[in-house]
Amino acid sequence: MIIKSMSRKTPSFDQLTSYMLAPKGALIGVAHNLPARCLTPDNIIQEFTDNHALLPGRVNGNALYHEILALPPNTDVPKKQQIAALKKIAARYLNLRAAQQLAVGVIHTETAHIHMHLMISSNAVLSQKRVWIHKHEFTEIQREIEEYKIQHFPEFGNTRLFAQRERTVKKTIREKAASLRTGQPSHKEQLAADVASVFEKARSREALQTALQHLGLTLYQRGQSVGIMTEGGRRYRLTTLGLGEAYTDAVARFELAESRMASLQRARRGRTTEHEREI
């Protein structure tokens, strides 16, 4: 499961609402702390705008959060069942992540990953203070939601992407002895740390390749094994570096972004065709 958060400094409630509702078949899945009358785009925008107006001006202060919850692709589970599961997971997530804040979630079903876009206010309802969550608190929420999904919706698998885990680098006896003698990380441990940082920060396959190239590294695949090759031709399997799950996380993130981009392109082509027919 993917749980992603992005902040915005400007109150672009109208733009994000339009984006979330644009794809064909998009439907509002959750309306958190919003009155029932606010299920139209204009009313949603007005509620968020009025609540944001209570905040004092602040340089670089967050105005809203755009977040994404995505289920693992599973063609064996009916779409209605996936939508119902995502609604329950989102409700649980918002109770933990934004208990007193405004939020609306829109489900997109046009990609392999059925997912929900969330717009969350930066301040609680009728509050003049922004709500700030520390990174480690958000990580704990991710883990709890992942466990909730595994426990209540086992049909989507039991893979844990956010579980607490240590990166274990496999070292030879000589490497272990050298680390003990010098008190410094081995070449393999430093390589693993550098590559882990790239996997975490990259937002696309192209960005990943570029960042690795700056380090003099390239990805290679031999059968089912994926690894890193240095400029000198030395090869290290990701499992040896303790980076197998980190790479899986990154690929899942890239696939979701690519699905979203494909959806936007289809929507643009559809609008162009409709405009040509009108002409």
SS3 168: coil
Q: What is the pLDDT of residue 85?
A: 97
Six-digit token pair at 6? 């992005």
pLDDT in tens, 132-181: 998 889 988 999 999 999 999 999 888 777 765 555 677 777 776 666 56
The CATH class of the 2-161 domain is alpha beta
Burial of 233 (0-12, 13-18, 19+ CB in 10 A): exposed
Taking CA atoms, 246 is separated from 100, 160, 250, in Å, by: 33, 11, 6
Q: Are 121 and 45 in contact (CB under 8 A)?
A: no
The pLDDT value recorded for residue 11 is 96
Predicted confidence at residue 164, as pLDDT, reads: 52
Spatial separation of the C-alpha atoms in residues 237 and 24, rounded to whole Å: 42
| pLDDT score for 118 | 97
The Cβ of residue 19 has, within 10 Å, a number of other Cβ atoms equal to: 18
Residues of the chain with pLDDT under 50: none
Element containing residue 89 per DSSP (H, E):
helix 79-97
192-196, long-range: CB < 8 A, 24+ apart: 192/167, 192/241, 192/242, 192/243, 195/228, 195/241, 195/243, 196/167, 196/243, 196/246
Quick one: CA torsion of 135, 138, 139, 145, rounded to 10 degrees?
A: -170
Report yes or no: 84 and 153 within 8 Å, Cβ to Cβ. Answer: no
Residue 17: the pLDDT is 96
Query: Model confidence over 100-112: pLDDT tens digits?
Result: 999 999 999 987 7
Contact 13, 45 (CB under 8 A): yes
Contact criterion met (CB below 8 Å) for 172 and 248: no
In sign, the C-alpha dihedral spanning 212, 171, 177, 181 is positive
Q: Where are the domains of the chain?
A: 2-161, 173-254
Q: Which helix (H) or strand (E) holds 50?
A: helix 41-52
Does this model's pTM top 0.75? Answer: no
